[in-house]
Amino acid sequence: MKLRRIEKSDNKKIADIIRTNLKAVGLDIPGTAYYDKSLDNLSEYYLGDPEKKFYYIATDDEGKIIGGVGIADIRLFDDCAELQKLYLSDEAKGHGFSLLMMKAAEDKALELGYKRIYLETHTTLEAAICLYEKLGYKCIEKPAGIVHSAMNRFYLKELG
């Protein structure tokens, strides 16, 4: 697996991967990333403010897009980034790529000056929750003002 910065030509493929994943677990509902207005144009969102946002595209050895992960500024906590839209294609799952993508996102957050990282998820995503907890994310109460109202698990991690 290789990681690179998102490009405009990646928009459709990564949006398809995200929607396919959410639909597979019954989270193709309002209040999830499935209906984010920016989902079909993620490159515009993440490239628009490179000092505060970044999105990695994961590719296989042949250059085929197999997933992605992003970070962006969130004002729920001081000096905090939000881990966003970590998804893999079905064929890429089970190879440890999520762990590598999480570590890359955390490193990028530190590089951009963030001191902590927040994420929100859903209890149906058991494998993701196990990964987050393995990496030291602590479950917290639901913060006020969250965007994805269908999410029901919230995590915070102090970075490095």
pLDDT at position 148 is 64
116 or 160, which is more confident? 116
44-66 average pLDDT score: 96
pLDDT at position 11 is 98
58 or 146, which is more confident? 58
Tell me the domain boundaries of the chain: 2-158
pLDDT of 108 above 90? yes
112 or 147, which is more confident? 112
Helix or strand run (H / E) with residue 154? strand 153-158
Residue of 129, 146, 117 lying closest to 32 (CA atoms): 146
Q: Domain 2-158 - what CATH class?
A: alpha beta
CB 53 within 8 A of CB 82: no
Task: Report the share of the chain in percent with pLDDT over 90.
Answer: 88
pLDDT of 146 above 80? no
What residues have CB less than 8 Å from 52, skipping those under 6 apart? Answer: 72, 73, 112
Residue of 88, 76, 83, 93 lying closest to 135 (CA atoms): 83
CB 56 within 8 A of CB 65: no
CB 28 within 8 A of CB 151: no
pLDDT of 136 above 90? yes
pLDDT at position 37 is 87
